[in-house]
Amino acid sequence: MFRRRGDAPFHRAPCGCCRVTGTNDKRTTIMPIIRVEMFSGRSEEQKRALVRDLTDAFVGAAGGNPDSVHVVITDVDKSNWGSGGQLCSDKFPD
């Protein structure tokens, strides 16, 4: 898990996303994190493709190592998402 030392968060165990930049075990996080919030209901295969495509697009546009790109997917029920003053479960019924 992450912990803070100074202003830079870092892992206790190196995973390739952090690097030691000086003395006293100070590390600088160099990993990009892509966060996706979307309605629940996508299959694991769709999520797998999304993670792959987002990683490829990020590396193509910004450079870097694909192994350092992290994608966090949060599934949200339509009843927990509002848009235009309405619950999405009312706007977009199944």
Catalytically annotated residues: 32
DSSP 60-74: HHH-S-GGG-EEEEE
Name the nearest CA neighbour of 70 among 90, 54, 47.
54
Contacts of 47 (CB under 8 A, 6+ apart): 73
Structure tokens that stand for 72 in this block: 């966090």
Structure tokens at 53: 């495509």
